[in-house]
Amino acid sequence: MKLLRIGKPGEEKPALLDQNGKIRDLSAHVADIGGVGISPDSLARLQAIDPSSLPETAPDRYGPCVAGTGKFICIGLNYSDHAAETGATVPPEPIIFMKASSAIVGPNDDVVIPRGSEKTDWEVELGVVIGQKAKYVSEAEALDYVAGYCVTNDVSERAFQTERSGQWTKGKSCDTFGPLGPWLVTKDEIPDPQNLGMWLKVNGETMQNGSSKTMVYGVAFLVSYLSQFMSLMPGDVISTGTPPGVGMGLKPPRYLKAGDVVELGIEGLGTQKQTFVADV
């Protein structure tokens, strides 16, 4: 299934995308796409519904594809070719940092370049959405705890991230720096999350063209690994790292400015399009 949330910010309602590309209202069957609404039992109930029996709806906006995200966990330098372009070495264990949940926006919402920013950058990433509580889970069972996958743009302010001391979080958590969606694709539609093409364009120019197969640490390993340190809860999102082609890795580096348009997508998971605007 392709599950989504449509409507104005704070007023989104649950929906699904049917096989003919029509959006169907799920409000009568689930309160939202998040929490208990993406548990294995809930997803099984939704899977049993005939989409043609649901009312068709036309969205005025796609919201973030999952609601109530408590933790937005990111993995740094998780593609060997991306690590190389930034001059870093692949870490012996995953680099974990948090992106504030207040950064989450819809997939096509404007992204606001924060005041004082000089180095706002792009990163197409595979997002993993947790569907049930995971604690101390093995790698073999880890995918049982995944509800599905989505596109994320891990927007980053590199000067805030790397030049102002401390941890990376402040360069990753600015308002609107976490577009999610357009939809949450349930894991039954993505049999191998380690073989998905990924791309990103800036003003029509392809900047990233990679694949999740070059991840250093795969999805199952990451879910298991993270669950050793913290309970993963329904609606939590893991952003798993980016392939090469980010602005800071170019020679000379290139960063985003007001008016730039970023388009990105992942095979089977849909596309996003954001206009970058100045903070006022």
- Say whether pLDDT at 81 is over 80: no
In this prediction, residues 233-246 reach a mean pLDDT of 96
- Say whether pLDDT at 84 is over 80: no
In this prediction, residues 7-17 reach a mean pLDDT of 97
| The pLDDT of residue 161 | 86
| The pLDDT of residue 168 | 83
- Say whether pLDDT at 210 is over 90: yes
Cα–Cα dist 230/224, whole Å: 10
What domains are there in the chain, each with its CATH number? 2-53 (no CATH), 72-278 (3.90.850.10)
- pLDDT grade, residue 56 (50/70/90)? very high
| The pLDDT of residue 87 | 72
- Say whether pLDDT at 162 is over 90: no
How much of the chain exceeds pLDDT 90, in percent?
A: 89
| The pLDDT of residue 17 | 98
In this prediction, residues 119-132 reach a mean pLDDT of 98
| The pLDDT of residue 165 | 78
Average model confidence (pLDDT) across the chain: 95
Instruction: Assess contact for 75 and 222: CB atoms under 8 A.
Output: yes
In sequence order, the 6+-apart residues with CB closer than 8 A to the CB of 147 are 38, 39, 43, 129, 130, 131, 132, 184, 186, 187, 234
> Mind spelling out the 3-state secondary structure of the chain?
CEEEEECCCCCCEEEEECCCCCEEECCCCCCCCCHHHHCHHHHHHHHCCCHHHCCECCCCCECCCCCCCCCEEEEECCEHHHHHHCCCCCCCCCEEEECCHHHEECCCCCEEECCCCCCEECCEEEEEEECCCECCCCCCCHHHHEEEEEEEECCEEHHHHHCCCCCCHHHHCCCCCEEECCCEEEHHHCCCCCCCEEEEEECCEEEEEEEHHHECCCHHHHHHHHHCCCCECCCCEEECCCCCCCHHHCCCCCCCCCCCEEEEEECCCEEEEEEEEECC
In this prediction, residues 27-50 reach a mean pLDDT of 97
Q: What is the pLDDT of residues 250-271, one digit of tens each?
A: 999 999 999 999 999 999 999 9
- Say whether pLDDT at 77 is over 90: no
Q: Six-digit token pair at 212?
A: 């999740």
Least confident among 78-92, 115-129, 174-188: 78-92
| The pLDDT of residue 147 | 98
The b-or-e profile of 231-261 (16+ CB within 10 A means b, else e) is: ebbbbbbbbbbbbbbbbbbeeeebbbeeebe
Task: Evaluate the omega torsion of the peptide bond into residue 64 and state whether it is cis, within 30 degrees of 0.
Answer: no
| The pLDDT of residue 166 | 76
**Sign of the C-alpha dihedral computed for residues 256, 217, 3 and 98 taken in this order:** negative
In this prediction, residues 49-67 reach a mean pLDDT of 96
In this prediction, residues 17-35 reach a mean pLDDT of 97
| The pLDDT of residue 164 | 82
- Say whether pLDDT at 83 is over 80: no
- pLDDT grade, residue 167 (50/70/90)? confident
